Structure 1
Amino acid sequence: MKPDSQTRLWTIPALITCGVLLGQQALAIEEVAVIGTRVETPLSELPSNISVLDAQILETVSAVHIQQALSQVPGVTYQRGNGQESLPGIRSAVLTGAGACGNVLVLEDGIAVRGAGFCNVNELFDTHFEQAGRIEVVRGANTAFYGSNAMLGSINVSLPSQGVDRISLELGANDYRRAKAAIGYGNPEAQHGRLFLTVAEDGGFRDHSGYQQQKLSLRHETTLGDWNFRLGATATHLDQETAGFVVGLDSYRDPGLRTGNLDPEAFRNTESLRAWASFSKDLASQRTLKITPYLRFTEMDFLQHFLPGDPLEQNQQRGFGWQSSLTAEVSDSLQWSVGLDGEIASGELLQIQDSPTQGSAFLRETIPAGTHYDYQVDSRQLGLFGHLNWQMAQRWKLLAGLRLEYMRYDYDNRSLDGRTRDDGSECGFGGCRYSRPADRTDSFTHLSPKLELQFQASDHWRLHLALADSFRAPQATELYRLQRAQTVAELDQVRASHIEVGARWQTVQTNMALTIYQIRQRNVIIRDSDFFNVDGQEIDSQGLELSFQHTLNPVWSARLVAAYAHHEYASVQFSGDQNIQGNQVDTAPNLTGNLTLTWSPTPRIATYLELQHVSDYFLDPENAHQYPGHTLLNWRASYQINDRWAASLRLLNLTNKYYADRADFTSFTDERYFPGEPRSLFGEIRWHF
């Protein structure tokens, strides 16, 4: 731990003490979440590592990019890319690499946005987070209701089927425009539903950048005889011109370089469609049956500006599956659920390069124009699970779960096997960079237990101890998108062992949660110094997370989320000729936090001053290069004009600080950055009817 980080960490117990002294002796209204059990459940009935961003927080933040909302959750280290792109991270370093996105499961109303073997680091832009009534985050392992990819965290974007009809228009810096509409229909006591539409356009603050995006969602509820029926669908489209990295030490601080774009031809176009129908029925003996079939389709084209030669990738996936559960209320103190989930999916990937690679003789010879990859993978996933909620005694509760999951890939290479050019000719310098394995089949099976013990120490205090195993299957790109002399990737599942202890303290005016955790990731998949995809590595993580909210009086309130974490390479691993065992994992800030002070002088007016902090972090596994971190100041205000009209302003990066949303280091470019947005003003007007 660095001395400055250690000093900051000592402020956390002080804040907790202040919260205890200020709290009142009455219970607050409890939030609910669906991410743990697929039905709305009070947080007290769920594992303690679940956080909820409610409608009020989401409306206040009014996120243009999902990272702006997720920064309100402790332990979440998502980084913003250009446009709508992002890199994930929950209780981990920021995740990069071919299949690292498989560590975080992204859901919309409980349905995975991508198939288990076909994740994408940017997949949150396929959710309709702009219209969410609630965003739920699991920090660490999820319950037994979810399997592969829910290894280090899960995010569920939930859209409500009921609510006030509204239309909003928003204008902002760099020709930003956004329109949102949420229109309901029917009778809330019978058949009803809601339509959501979001249309956004951003001119971008960097040259040749910006995007146009459209999202449409439906939520519908009714009854069909004895069955309760819910229908959901979301369609999205993104047309983005992408600005790449700025290159050079501290280039993000250069006024000219930070607004430039070395990759003016880069773009990303994506479309997605998901639909699901949920059927639930109350059976005899306090049992409930729930079945949810779903369909999924995604298609994406983008220029890989971050690779030599700027190859084009076209990927597509389609699939269908189901979730099912049988839940029984055995008594007031005992509830159990069992279920069987399944999915059949198919993914395709094509990587082609139109023109010769520029650069050194080695790059020009080993990365030819033409087809690099062209393959299809058919997947089958089956999961069997059980979950137990047992109130053992007045103050003691046990949550337990077990999940058995099977995953199979059938891979079909539609190009030439090996590391040749697409015409079969050999590359110089020992062969082409990209290697295409021959057709093959891979399968994986894993048994994953979960256990949490909760102790209700008083009306206000709850303590917990949790142990869990989580996992993810290797992603298709890790198995079949090989390089250099590697012809087969013999990979097994990545696993993580979790232990955490924590406490929640809750009154009407104060809500506090403190968690200490330790995670060991085993059989981590990396690309080694020979550019082979190999497993067998380990990463150790320890951390402390704090969430604290206090209402001092009707005018003033404060909210703090903060996390201290240390992630290190725990096994012998070479980067070049250096053993990096014991080094900190790159792109893993030790300290992150968000402090919001709210002043509401009247019921119609509210202002929010937000302080965001990201500490320094290393850019490379050797820990030789570093980003110094940053602290940002944001201001927001809202005014309820009357019962139907409201207006709001947001001034982000109030001090116009030069910072980097993402910092990185490669041997080809040295330091490179995604510059953060300059001072930006946004205004919105909302009409409720």
Structure 2
Amino acid sequence: MKQRFCYSLISLSILSACSINAYANDDNAMADIEQITVTSSRTAKLNTQLALSIGSVSEEVLNNDNSQHLSDSLQTIPGVLLNQLSGGQGHNAAIRMPINYGGYTLYLQDNVPLQSAAFYNHNALWWASSNSSLSRLEVMKGAGTSLYGSGAVAATVNVLSAPVDSNKNAVGLTLGEAGYARYQGSITQHFSENNGVRVSGAYLNNDGWRDNSSVEKAELNMLHEVSFSDRHQLKTSVMASSLDQQMLDALTEDEFNDDPSQSGLPLEVVNIDPRRKTDYVRVSSEYRYHGDAVFASVIPYARYRSNDYIATWQPNMPQVESSVKTVGVLALANFSHSDGFDTTIGIDLESAKGDALSYQAATRTTTGWGAATYPKGHVFYNDETRFRGVAPYIQHNGVITKQLSYSLGLRYDNNKYEFNNSLPTYDDDGFGNRSIADRTDTFDHLSPKASLNYQMNDISNVYVRFANAIRIPTASELYHLKTKETSAQLSALNEETSDTYEVGYKAHFEALSIELAYYFMAVDDAIVTAYDDFGASYRVNAARVEHSGIELGVNYDVSKSVAVAFAYSQSEHEFDHYIEDQGRIDRNTQRSKAQDLSGNSLQMAPDYVANLRLNYNSDVFDGLNVVAEIQSIGDYWMDAKNTQKYSGYTVANVKVNYLLTDALKLHVRVANLTDKKYALQGELRYGRERIQPGAPRTLYMGLHYDF
């Protein structure tokens, strides 16, 4: 019944879109609303001129949300789900993918990557700015244009800072339950009409609603913009942040039912107060040249990040310490040939050095599958990996007729790893870990892109596109190996390659906008997680995985006071061919452990993701805004064997903003309005449930002052 209802809803939406488009050709059609995006090309483009599915979150929505985390606002985009794990600042993503921790999403701030693909971390938004200096968020779904390389498989998320174009200053304070307090502010100074700087920052302190889940985060950002002339501009950005967060674990079903606020950690681990600490600094400077028929952009950048934590999700809970230092350059030039024809050539260069250390911080004896005693001080790995990436690309756009245009792209990625091990080589340290000799690995790939865009009129278009993309294995996946008997990774782990096919329709009217897309993505050599006899995870290529789905976004201004926004996606994710534990022998029974999971659904792949918002601007109480929101996800399998299902959830949130004066705003937010007890995420791992509980009803209140 549920699926029939969903597909009926989609069919109705398609029919509505067609009828609305027919109306748009009428003389009395509504005026268009221009929606601008910069993610696809680093220059401003009309959304309806692009054969891409790009969603955005406006500055107004960001300001009205007053969110604890950027994920709250991103979920207003169709097909975008980000789980804020354990109520802290960590997150994973499900964008045209199951809920996952892999490097399928490229995260940017102001068009510059937040991290290196070689040292990918699913928590990348830790390091993005989230203070009052933001202008909007953009998500380019699917494999992107030729400007983006490894990781831009399922989506590219771009956090965009507001330009330094006024002397607007702001301060804000938000207080909430569970000891939540957030302070933020920004100061802008103009030295001349074409020369200005903004300094912004935020500080967050939160005790957390779960035991052992406190968070402290500070961030500081500086943006300087100067125009030397109409042709030459320079924008320099400095971002710095520090995060200190207590660690906790997922819960079993019994623990969740008994008390979802507990930490899920054994007492001996709680006593050592496990924490995650990460520091981040990024400096970048973009030079832009606007000529008569040429646009050029050059962005040198440097990054540093550290990430130290106790891996509470592993049975032995080891200490992990890592740091990555990166320098790079993003350079492109766009040449306009004639009306409708242009060519972009560019190159991305990156060099990074990552240091990684993992050891046993405290003696721990595990139980159940692969039970063992891990002595304090045992070192699992201690190494340095150098990474070099070189990626030239070309993108050409042209016209076939007045209404039909095309785009062709090609990108070549050459990625090289140099691994240096500080430990002696051995096949097994007694806990299923292998230490390998120094080595070098190279990954090369050529990614073609092609699309057609048909401009139905000034405000609507239909498109079809194909995009090939890659995800390279990370340094950890390549070199932190298990024993010979349980892993064939060495020299055998390949990059994932994906082919995405997409058709879509977009229309933006005066009171109504509709975006509809269908995609099919096939991933070859997909990297999946397997487990050894000790219950520890390792990574293997798993042949072929297929993802498909439909995404619908509708925004409708019912009246001057009332607007409705609906974001919906329905998808299927399955193994086209996958033999789990191929070649492995059960050490107790001496029988093969291999299982054919071909045709199974991937774990944690929601049937649907939906977000419905009702936005009310009162015409009775001037300055009053109310947002009522429903967030819902469908059921999914909790494991790759498809033995147990999670039923999904539906929660409601309310946000109220009221202008006390032209400069002072009061905002109130109630998350999980009905105080529903639910699991934000559920999976089976190590033979037991791992439930991430959703937060109970939580009240936040604050003030924002512009001056």
TM range (shorter): over 0.9
Letter in 1 for 2:394: G
Within 5 Å, give how 1:148-187 maps onto structure 2: 148-162=150-164, 163=166, 164-186=168-190
Q: Structure 1 pair 260/385, CA: closer, same or farther in 2 (3 Å)? A: closer
SS at match of 1:478: helix
CA–CA separation in structure 2 for the residues paired with 1:6 and 1:266: 47
Deviations 1:167-198 (A, max 9, x none): 11111111100111121111573101211111
Uncovered stretches (5+) of structure 2, i.e. residues with no partner = 582-592
Structural mapping, 1:222-621, within 5 Å? 222-224=226-228, 227-248=232-253, 251-254=255-258, 256-262=259-265, 264=270, 265-283=273-291, 286-360=293-367, 362-365=370-373, 369-421=377-429, 427=430, 432-485=431-484, 486=487, 488-528=490-530, 533-574=539-580, 576-602=593-619, 603-621=622-640
Residues 243-292 of structure 1, C-alpha deviations (whole Å, 9 max, x = no match): 2111235x4343x2434442533311000000101112234x51122211
Q: Secondary structure at the match of 1:275?
A: strand
Which residue of 693, 698, 704 maps to 1:675? Answer: 693
> Partner amino acid for 2:417?
Y
**Identity rate, percent:** 24
How big is the shift at 1:526? 2.4
Partner of 1:113: 114
Superposed displacement of residue 358, structure 1: 1.3
Alpha-carbon shift at residue 532 of structure 1 (Å): 5.5
In structure 2, what residue type is equivalent to 1:7? F
Contact 1:367 1:433 in 2 (8 A): no
Match of 2:660 in 1: 641
Structure 1 counterpart of 2:8: 10
Q: 2: CA distance between counterparts of 1:465 and 1:667?
A: 42
- Answer whether contact 1:208 1:261 (CA < 8 A) is retained: no
In the alignment, which residue of structure 2 is the partner of 1:424? none
- Distance in 2 between the 1:610 and 1:591 partners? 17
Which letter maps to 1:543? G
Q: Secondary structure at the match of 1:14?
A: helix
Tell whether the 8 Å contact from 1:451 to 1:468 is kept in structure 2 after alignment: yes
In structure 2, what is the Cα distance between the partners aligned to 1:18 and 1:242? 48
Letter in 2 for 1:405: D
Amino acid at match of 1:521: V
Contact 2:499 2:521 in 1 (8 A): yes
Which one-letter code corresponds to 2:108 in the other structure? L
Cα distance, 1:387 vs structure 2: 1.1
User: What is the deviation of 1:495?
Assistant: 0.6
Aligned counterpart, 2:104? 103
Q: 1:677 to 1:214 in 2, by over 3 A?
A: same
Local SS of the residue matching 2:4: helix
What residue ranges of structure 1 are gaps of 5+ in the alignment? Answer: 422-426
Q: Which residue of 1 aligns with 2:590?
A: none
What SS is found at the alignment partner of 2:618? Answer: strand
Letter in 1 for 2:701: G
Alpha-carbon distance in 2 for matches of 1:367, 1:499: 51
Counterpart position of 1:659: 678
Q: Is the 8 A contact 2:546 2:576 kept in 1?
A: yes
Deviations 1:278-337 (A, max 9, x none): 112234x51122211000000011010111221010010001010111111222211211
Structure 1 residues 228 and 257 mapped into 2: Cα distance closer, same or farther (>3 Å)? closer
Query: Aligned pair in 2 of structure 1 residues 134, 80: CA closer, same or farther (>3 Å)?
Result: same
Following the alignment from structure 1 to structure 2, what is the Cα–Cα distance between the partners of residues 278 and 257?
Answer: 47
Alpha-carbon displacement from aligned partner over 1:569-599 (angstroms, at most 9, x marks no partner): 1113226543111011000001110000112
Distance in 2, Cα, partners of 1:110 & 1:27: 31
Which residue pairs with 1:71 in the alignment? 75
Amino acid at match of 2:411: R
How far apart, CA to CA, are the structure 2 residues paired with 1:367 and 1:617? 38
Separation in 2, partners of 1:214, 1:533: 34
Bigger shift: residues 34-43 or 148-157:
34-43
Check if 1:630 corresponds to 2:637.
no
**How far apart in 1 are the matches of 2:275 and 2:681?**
19
CA distance, structure 1, for counterparts of residue 35 and residue 191 of structure 2: 25
Q: Which residue identity lines up with residue 372 of structure 1 in the other structure?
A: F
AA of the residue aligned to 2:139: V
- Give the secondary structure class of the aligned counterpart of 1:457: strand
Residue of structure 1 equivalent to 2:703: 685
For residues 5-42 of structure 1, give each alpha carbon's deviation from its aligned partner in whole angstroms, at most 9, with x where no partner exists. 33233223335556766988223331222211122332
CA contact (8 A) 1:606 1:637 kept: yes
Separation of aligned partners in 2, 1:417 and 1:345: 24
Kept in 2: contact 1:470–1:497 (CA 8 A): yes
- Counterpart Cα distance in 1 of 2:401 and 2:15: 30
Counterpart of 2:96 in structure 1 is 91
- 3-state DSSP class of the match of 2:598? coil
Q: 1:63 touches 1:130 (CA, 8 Å); kept in 2?
A: no
The 1-side partners of 2:130 and 2:598 are apart by: 39
Amino acid at match of 1:470: A
CA distance in 2, matches of 1:253, 1:4: 27
Deviation at 1:52, TM superposition (A): 1.1
CA contact (8 A) 2:578 2:597 kept: yes
Give the SS at the match of 1:64: coil
TM-score by length of 1: 0.93
Count of aligned residue pairs for this structure pair: 670
CA distance in 1, matches of 2:679, 2:31: 41
Say which SS state the counterpart of residue 346 (structure 1) adopts.
Answer: strand
Task: Classify 1:353/1:646 alpha carbon distance in 2 versus 1 (closer, same or farther; 3 Å).
Answer: same
In the alignment, is the contact (CA less than 8 A) between 2:55 and 2:140 conserved in 1? yes
SS of the residue corresponding to residue 171 of structure 1 reads: strand
Which AA in structure 1 matches 2:669?
R
Alpha-carbon deviation of 1:560? 0.2
- Secondary structure of 1:377's counterpart equals strand
Cα distance in 1 for partners of 2:554, 2:260 equals 39
Q: Are the counterparts in 2 of residues 246 and 672 from structure 1 also a CA contact under 8 Å?
A: yes
When the two chains are superposed, the root-mean-square deviation of aligned CA atoms in Å is 2.0
Rounded Cα–Cα distance in structure 1 between residues aligned with 2:662 and 2:546: 53
* Cα distance, 1:363 vs structure 2: 3.0
| 1:650 and 2:669 matched | yes
Give CA deviations for 1:389-431 in whole Å, capped at 9, x if unaligned: 223321111122111110000000111212454xxxxx3xxxx
Task: Give the structure 1 partner of residue 32 of structure 2.
Answer: 28
* Residues 27 and 433 of structure 1: CA distance in aligned 2, closer, same or farther (over 3 Å): farther
Q: What one-letter code is carried by the residue in structure 2 that aligns with 1:509? A: A
Residue type of the alignment partner of 1:565: S
Amino acid at match of 1:633: A
State how far apart, in whole Å, the 1-side matches of 2:704 and 2:530 are.
Answer: 52
Distance 1:649 1:534 in 2: 47
> CA 1:665–1:490 in 2, change beyond 3 Å: closer, same or farther?
same
Matched, 1:220 2:224: yes
**Structure 2 residue identity aligned to 1:237:** S
1:206 matches 2:210? yes
Tell me the secondary structure at the aligned position of residue 658 of structure 1.
Answer: coil
State the partner residue of 1:135. 137
The 2-side partners of 1:551 and 1:533 are apart by: 48
